[in-house]
Copies of this chain bind each other. A is one copy, B any other.
Amino acid sequence: MPKLGMEPIRRAALVKATIDEIGAAGNLDVTVSSIAKRAGMSSALAHHYFGGKEQIFLAAMRHTLAIYAAEVRLALGQAQGHRARLEAIVRAGFTSSNFQPDVIAAWLNFYVLAQTSEDAHRLLQLYQRRLHSNLVHDLRPLIGTGADQAAARIAALIDGYYLRQGLARDAAERSDATRQVLAFLEIELKGRVQ
């Protein structure tokens, strides 16, 4: 019973199923069939709408990135002042939604894919540039020269902590990433060399 206008619905379902499937597997060794089954359709339909496996992956990655970007935007919208905005950026990166196993899996595999896929790399660069420019925007008024370098350090620290937290198993391994990055921000702001 072909209802028209199914395409966006099917695509969304496939994207969702892809993220879930990658999360369950931990890697990109997931079949189009398993994704399609999880999304409640045949694999032929998945191919019909996306063309191939890699395109399905990329759509899933774009979706993950978009959610993160929206979270950052929201947090920034509610923050008052440079300092609060910086904190908002940091906090947005470490919300519990970002530590869902499937989101972590998406990011890690995203990094792997970025080595060889031009599209994935471009997407990653987009994320990195956005983060960097967000940080610089509110660091510059506070510390002027060196804001660029400080932003680079903070961005790398966010990524580094995310990686560690994401791969931590038990509570003992885990630390309060937000607090640590904020402490670092504190140091960058107050403990300027010079």
Contacts and interface: CB of A to CB of B under 8 A. Distances in A.
A169 interface: yes
Contacts of A26: 112-113, 115-116
Interface stretch (A31-39, A83-91, A160-168): A160-168
Given A26-B115, A112-B27, A187-B191, A180 B160 contact: no
Contacts of A105: 112, 115
Interface stretch (A4-12, A13-21, A67-75, A120-128): A120-128
Contacts of A160: 155-161, 163
- Size band of the A side of the interface? 35 or more
B152 A115 contact: no
Interface in A166-194: 167, 169, 173, 175, 180, 183-184, 186-188, 190-193
Nearest to A158: B160
A27 B156 contact: no
Interface of A: 25-29, 101, 104-105, 108-109, 111-116, 121, 124-125, 128, 149, 152-153, 155-161, 163-164, 167, 169, 173, 175, 180, 183-184, 186-188, 190-193
